[in-house]
Amino acid sequence: MARSLPSSVDAQYVTTERLDTHVLVSGDRDGTSVCLLHGNVSSSRFWAELMADLPDEWFVFAPDMRGYGNSETKPVDATRGMGQFSDDLAALVDALDVDSFVLAGWSIGGGVAMQYAIDHPERLTDLVLVSTMSPYGFGGTTRDGTPCQPDHAGTGAGLANPEFVERLAAGDTSAEGDASPRTVMEAFYVGPEYEFDPELADAYVDAMCQTAVGDENYPGDSAPSEHWPGVAPGEHGVLNAVSPKYFDTTGLDDIDPKPPVLWVRGDADQVVSDTSFFDAGFLGQAGQLPDWPGEDVFPPQPMNAQTRDVLDAYAADGGQYTEEVFEGVGHSPHVERPERFRSLLVEFLGE
């Protein structure tokens, strides 16, 4: 049986001109406002236990993004990168009458957070990036962001595991096979040392299976390519939206004002790393994608190195950032080490 929400966390719907958004809320509406953005194939449910443990004087809100959780499903225009998600968030914070706030984003939520920071830097007091995707997009670039292929082949929706997509669409909550949502969560969302509480795992898998599946949402459409590995991004859906063909938040270092940045990641992350199991370059190098053209043509994407380069530029231009690495932790530091994550966040926001 899936664990219910903590008693101090409430669920509500907020309607804007853009979206009917399901939001988890906790704390004091007059306190410090903190927004928590979830990652791909997940929802606000992954933040709930942390929310219950954050200071009561904070107002914490965690929305389900379009096509995730209990929020309305609307098409994702991939050609805007994370632009639609940023606009959805802007409408939400206005509807909540939140003026300035702390923005934390996990995984692709980090991509949305960076885009929102570029679009509305004056609204942010602090920016927290948790296992964030690279500012250069997901997959298919060298360290300086140069595309490996002219049409960005090897990135986007065409690389999604079709069996995983099928089982996600079917709401398969079993642990049968390597491609079930539960198996993927246990293998890749966390590090090898972490063991889920069974009821909490059920709640998380249920949340994963609320993801809207199709060409306009997850994973999106794709296009054939003459370049390795034979598939390029389409124009719709979330995995295309994070392709470097459309996603670019390297302009983060140009924003004014510059909120302090906290970057938190695990050193055992298999999703976002310099050796990601979801990156075509690394999979080719590891022999998992045939006919890899070699490191000179399509190297593994150095995701963390790219993020650090952009944040170094941010600091050089007058900003400040702190990088915290959790040893033995995978893609979900706030789930795997909640007490340490809470302490780190409270300390950072108290500075």
Q: What integer pLDDT is reported at residue 351 of this predicted model?
A: 56
| Residue 1 maps to a domain | no
Q: What integer pLDDT is reported at residue 3 of this predicted model?
A: 84
| Residue 154 maps to a domain | no
Q: What integer pLDDT is reported at residue 110 of this predicted model?
A: 99
Element (H, E) at 129: strand 124-130
Structural domains of the chain, count:
1
- Where do we find the tokens 């979330």? 238
Q: Which two tokens stand for residue 81?
A: 């990168």
Q: What integer pLDDT is reported at residue 2 of this predicted model?
A: 80
| Residue 169 maps to a domain | no
Q: What integer pLDDT is reported at residue 211 of this predicted model?
A: 99
| Residue 219 maps to a domain | no
pTM of the shown model: 0.98
Which residue type sits at 42? Answer: S
| Residue 157 maps to a domain | no
CA atoms of 278 and 295, how far apart (whole Å): 16
| Residue 182 maps to a domain | no
CA atoms of 148 and 126, how far apart (whole Å): 34
Mean pLDDT of successive 10-residue stretches along the chain, which has 351 residues: 91 98 98 98 99 98 99 99 99 98 99 99 99 99 99 99 99 98 99 97 99 99 99 99 99 98 99 98 98 99 99 99 99 99 97 56
Which residue type sits at 135? Answer: P
| Residue 185 maps to a domain | no
| Long-range CB pairs of 158-164, under 8 A, 24+ apart, other chains included | 158/222, 158/223, 158/231, 158/232, 158/233, 158/234, 159/229, 159/231, 159/239, 159/278, 159/280, 160/218, 160/219, 160/239
Domain extent for 308: 10-145+248-350
* CATH assignment of the domain containing 62: 3.40.50.1820
